[in-house]
Amino acid sequence: MTTRVPVVEKILSANDRIAEENHARIESAGVFSINIMAAPGAGKTSLIEQTLPRLKGKLRVAVVDGDIATSIDADRAAKAGAQAAIQINTGGDCHLDAIMLRSALEQLDLTQFDLLIVENVGNLVCPASFKLGTHKSVLVASIPEGDDKPYKYPGMYRGVDALVINKIDLLPYIPFKMDYFERGVQVLNPGVLTFPLSCRTGEGLDVWIEWLTQHATHKK
Partner 1 sequence: MHELAVTQSILDISLRHAKDAGAKQITGISLVIGEFASIVDDSVQFYWEMIADGTIAQGAQLHFERIRGEMICANCKHSFHPDDIDFVCPNCESPFVQITKGDEFRVDSIDVE
Strand order in the sheet with 115-119: 84-89, 61-67, 115-119, 32-38, 136-142, 162-166, 193-196
Q: Which of residues 156-175 bind partner 1 (CB under 8 A)?
A: 158
Going by C-beta distance under 8 Å and a sequence separation of 6 or more, which residues neighbour residue 108? 62, 84, 86, 116
Between 20 and 206, CB nearer to partner 1: 20
With CA atoms as reference, report the closest residue to 154 among 122, 124, 118: 124
Does residue 10 belong to the site contacting partner 1 (CB under 8 A)? yes
| Least distance (Å) between residue 68 CB and partner 1 | 13
Between 92 and 172, CB nearer to partner 1: 92
Q: How many CA atoms lie within 13 A of 35 on its CB side?
A: 29
Does residue 202 belong to the site contacting partner 1 (CB under 8 A)? no
Does residue 4 belong to the site contacting partner 1 (CB under 8 A)? yes
* 81 alpha-carbon distance from chain centroid: 18
Does residue 8 belong to the site contacting partner 1 (CB under 8 A)? yes
Size, binding site for partner 1 by CB under 8 A: 36
Q: Given its phi and psi angles, is residue 70 left (phi above 0), alpha (psi -120 to 50 degrees) or beta?
A: beta
Does residue 2 belong to the site contacting partner 1 (CB under 8 A)? yes
Q: What is the binding site for partner 1 (CB under 8 A)?
A: 1-15, 93-95, 97, 125-126, 129-130, 148, 151-152, 154-155, 158, 180, 183-184, 186-188, 190
